Amino acid sequence: MDAAPLIIVSNRGPLQFDRDEAGERTLRRGGGGLVTALSGLVSHREALWIASAMTEEDVAVSEEAEGGAVELTIDEIDYRVCLVGSDAQAYDRFYNVIANPILWFIQHYLWDLSNAPDIRREELDAWDYGYQTVNRDIAEAVVAQIDGRPDPVVMLHDYHLYTAPRMIRERRPDAFLHHFVHIPWSQPDSWRVLPTRIREAIFDGLLANDIIGFHTLAYCINFLRCCEELLEAEVDYARGEVHHAGARTLARAYPLGIDAQRLERAASSPEVAEAEREVLERRRKHLILRVDRADLSKNVLRGFTAFDVFLAQHPEFREEVTFVAHLQPSRQDVPEYAEYLERIEALVAVVNHRHGTTDWMPIDLRIYENFPEAVARYKHYDLLMVNSIFDGMNLVAKEAPAVNTRDGVLMLSENTGSHEELWDYVISVNPFDIQEQADAIYRALTLPAEQKRAWSEGLREIIFSRTPGDWVDDQIEDIAALRSSAR
């Protein structure tokens, strides 16, 4: 019998198929930190990647492949991907009602509890006939791919797939199941908005894994506390273990690094050089930058308000500084996200009207994704703003300093996973404290050159010391150790 390749499973895959206006099939790379991390994994090991078919064209590709894998190379990486189609209504309930917003909002503490969420028939049905349906479709695809192969290793990812591990475990008790959660794990009370049966299905599903990985130790501890308080499972904090349903699950921290060398190669590409010309032509004395998905957890509104306060308190900086914000539209079928983007645009109009002049627009808002343009600005910012409300890791905080050429300063929210590693060389901010963020802008733009140099060297040393390959290797090593101790 053939040994199964490593199976990685996530909702968003590395490739997204669409049709352009001329009706031609197009292909682009999936966005977000998860795809970046797992691309590092597949460039490192032979793997089959199972993902949801998210667009109509993805569904067409999956039907053409008849449940098999498609093989494609993008950005020098070879992918073998198996796209899993689900019923369109089930997928909509799964993605737009349960995963985003309900689970995402719980795990980033975004609910305004006196107003929302309301759990009604619609949400319960979305759980039963959406989240569970898509998890079952994915679990079945996994079981089909590992059929007849001994000792398979399956790595599942993120909050979309919390119940799939139990479904796989029931069919393949011998499989090694590993789950990495790319977003924060919030404290026990935040989970109490969910009806007990849903909460228990989530924890029971996750505890069918052998290992659950998080970006930080703080998230591991929150997870263990949830198992103890909400499931009354037996927890060993010192060993990071949970005992449930006759099995043991380990909770471990594996901080994700970036492929800084690949980013350096991208930073010296002709596409970035072309984008850089415009950046340099238009730049004022100071450039403040942020690059994010347009997500509520990123705290874009407070960031702009802090800039507004800074300009009001330091009029000497008027016409000398521009704040460029690259925001990639995200999850626009979820009303909270669509409304958030509208509020961002309205606030930018107010700030620009309040402080702008005939030839100076303080905030330059770019609502699209353009990698060369973003990297060109990574190279030239004076201040990078990462002020997330809560954020699993935040890879921009590692990517941008890796290629910055101006000893730019990083303003970093203390509630990001990357703060656990980078805090010594950043201006830390409380994401809710607007005055502190306004002061941080002033401090960053007036910081002595030697201090900026020392910080940027400190950041680069940490950032270049760990790659996505190390992140994968640490997890594979733990999997191997656990497997051999079980024999």
Please say which residue, 295 or 421, places its beta carbon nearer to ligand F6P.
Answer: 295
What is the 8-class DSSP label of residue 30? P
Q: Residue 27 CB: number of other CB atoms within 10 A?
A: 12
Please say which residue, 311 or 389, places its beta carbon nearer to ligand F6P.
Answer: 389
Please say which residue, 33 or 40, places its beta carbon nearer to ligand F6P.
Answer: 33
Cβ 441 to ligand F6P shortest distance, Å? 27
The tokens describing 228, both together, are: 């103890």
Q: Give the interface with ligand F6P as residue ranges (CB under 6 A).
A: 12, 31-34, 100, 158, 182-183, 330-331
Name 23's Cβ contacts closer than 8 Å, sequence gap at least 6. Answer: none
Cβ 331 to ligand F6P shortest distance, Å? 5
Cβ 159 to ligand F6P shortest distance, Å? 7
Calpha distance 154→133 (Å, rounded): 20
Cβ 34 to ligand F6P shortest distance, Å? 4
What is the sign, positive or negative, of the torsion defined by CA atoms of 58, 59, 62, 63? negative
Cβ 156 to ligand F6P shortest distance, Å? 11
Cβ 14 to ligand F6P shortest distance, Å? 10
Cβ 184 to ligand F6P shortest distance, Å? 10
- Alpha-carbon dihedral of residues 208, 214, 220, 223, nearest 10 degrees? -50
Please say which residue, 62 or 297, places its beta carbon nearer to ligand F6P.
Answer: 297
DSSP per residue, 107-169? HTT---TTT-----HHHHHHIIIIIHHHHHHHHHHHHHHHTT-SS-EEEEESGGGSSHHHHHH
Please say which residue, 104 or 455, places its beta carbon nearer to ligand F6P.
Answer: 104
DSSP H or E run through 73: strand 70-74
Q: Could you tell me which residues are beta bridge partners of residue 26?
A: 18
Nearest residue to ligand F6P, scored by beta-carbon proximity: 32
Q: Label residue 487 exposed, middle or buried (CB < 10 Å: 0-12, 13-18, 19+).
A: exposed
Q: Are 354 and 308 in contact (CB under 8 A)?
A: yes
Q: Are 46 and 82 in contact (CB under 8 A)?
A: no
Closest CA to 360 of 306, 324, 320: 320
What SS3 state is found at 235? strand
Cβ 35 to ligand F6P shortest distance, Å? 6
Cβ 421 to ligand F6P shortest distance, Å? 17
Please say which residue, 158 or 259, places its beta carbon nearer to ligand F6P.
Answer: 158
Please say which residue, 31 or 372, places its beta carbon nearer to ligand F6P.
Answer: 31
Q: Are 374 and 435 in contact (CB under 8 A)?
A: no
DSSP per residue, 257-294? ---HHHHHHHHTSHHHHHHHHHHHHH--SEEEEEEEES
Please say which residue, 142 or 445, places its beta carbon nearer to ligand F6P.
Answer: 142
What is the sign, positive or negative, of the torsion defined by CA atoms of 61, 63, 65, 70? positive
Please say which residue, 9 or 402, places its beta carbon nearer to ligand F6P.
Answer: 9
Cis peptide before 117 (omega within 30 of 0): yes
Please say which residue, 5 or 13, places its beta carbon nearer to ligand F6P.
Answer: 13
CA angle 476, 394, 191 (to 5 degrees): 80
Cβ 33 to ligand F6P shortest distance, Å? 4
Cβ 10 to ligand F6P shortest distance, Å? 7
Please say which residue, 78 or 333, places its beta carbon nearer to ligand F6P.
Answer: 333
Closest CA to 49 of 13, 86, 85: 13
DSSP H or E run through 99: none
Cβ 391 to ligand F6P shortest distance, Å? 9
Calpha distance 415→436 (Å, rounded): 15
CA angle 71, 373, 262 (to 5 degrees): 50
